[in-house]
Amino acid sequence: MAAMRADSALRLGGNLRLSVAGAESNVAIGLARLGHRVRWVGRVGADELGALVLRTLRAENIDTGHAVTDDTGRPTGLLLTEPRVGTLTRVSYYRSGSAGSAVSPSDVLPALTPGTRVLHLTGITPALGPSAAEAALAAVTAAHESGITVCLDVNHRSRLWTAECARTALRPLLAHTDLLVASEDELPLAQERPDATESEIVRGLLAEGVTEVVIKRGARGATSLTADGTADRAARQVHAVDLVGAGDAFVAGYLSALLEGADLEARLHRAVTTAAFAVATRGDWEGLPTKDELGLFDRPDGTTIR
């Protein structure tokens, strides 16, 4: 979708900067910058904002050959962000009836070509409408049956649907999920019992067939849990200027290391590093690193690279 970012409270007017956004788009850009081949599948409107989305993705070396331009009059989705207090940002969504809400199984399934290693999607897609929810379920089912690793980031958006609606829609996806990513407050959405403890939820997910659960803990880092072991990693200490997109950057780093065959600790290390780039720069994806930039946080403050 398109994104308009305000430099002050929206009701006061002021300047807006036009860009693109979307959790899956952010992850796609993050992976492409780290040197991976990435394909983005979705729908945009037959409008200038849709053209901006596709142009931006192509500029980031992402394959948009399976993207669909909706010719029925549905517009490209839009979000508005505004800074409120410190790093707290308020987001307003305009996605009802958007082109993205009409994405269908027939749009998505042809993109799961031989050689695809990972399918990544989030809990945002099924929140957009019945067609999008059907597409998400069809995609994870087909991918799992084909041996493609399915990564599902819960990514709950309370302005799009309630926790109960999210839980009802996400549970069927989990039967085909290999890697589940959730923040601490989102994890209960993955179980029918919202009062279950974290350890109970993780044990239940692993017993149901999820092979790995990654819990994002914000400024306290993250934890990865499998049937064979657990790893924890503290967050990198950086000056945070914009928290939007940090979770997507984390997922991009984690999947990048996973694709390279790294162990749990190394996957978490890259994930918290890419997340640190996101929070230390403004924008959802603009500050994400290339692979040769991953070591920048290991340089002393004030270093000039010549």
pLDDT of residue 88: 80
Tell me the CATH number for domain 1-100.
3.40.1190.30
Residues 47-83: tens digit of each pLDDT:
999 999 999 999 999 999 999 999 999 999 999 999 8
Kindly state the percentage of the chain with pLDDT values over 70: 99
Question: Residue 283 — pLDDT band, cuts 50, 70, 90?
Answer: confident
Question: Residue 23: pLDDT above 90?
Answer: yes
pLDDT of residue 145: 96
Average of per-residue pLDDT across 111-120: 97
CA 26 to chain centre: 6
Residue 242: active-site member? no
Which range is least confidently modeled, 17-26, 88-97, 222-231, 267-276?
A: 88-97
Report, as an integer, the average pLDDT of 252-258.
98
Position 90 scores a pLDDT of: 87
Q: What is the pLDDT of residue 174?
A: 95
Query: pLDDT at residue 244 above 90?
Result: no
CA atoms within 13 A on the CB side of 70: 22
What confidence score (pLDDT) does residue 87 get? Answer: 72
Read off the pLDDT band of 109 (50, 70, 90).
Answer: very high
Which of 191-195, 203-207, 244-248 shows the lowest per-residue confidence on average (mean pLDDT)? 191-195
Q: Give the side-chain half-sphere CA count within 13 A for 71.
A: 0
pLDDT at 285 over 90: yes
Is pLDDT above 80 for 2? yes
pLDDT beyond 80 at 301: no
Taking the C-alpha atoms of residue 35 and residue 32, their distance in angstroms, rounded to an integer, is 5
| CA angle (168, 120, 19) in 5-degree steps | 100
**pLDDT reported for residue 234:** 96
Whether 172 shows a pLDDT value over 90: the answer reads yes
* pLDDT beyond 80 at 304: no
Q: pTM for this one?
A: 0.94
What pLDDT shows up at residue 193? 80
* Closest by CA position to 70, among listed 41, 48, 100: 100
Q: Which of 70, 107, 248, 284 is catalytic?
A: 248
- The mean pLDDT of the chain is 94
Residue 94 DSSP symbol: E
- Cβ 52 vs Cβ 44: under 8 Å: no
What residue ranges do the domains of the chain occupy? Answer: 1-100
Tell me the C-alpha distance between 55 and 71, whole Å: 18
Q: How many CB atoms lie within 10 A of CB 82?
A: 19
- Measured CA to CA, the distance from residue 3 to residue 227 in angstroms comes to 40
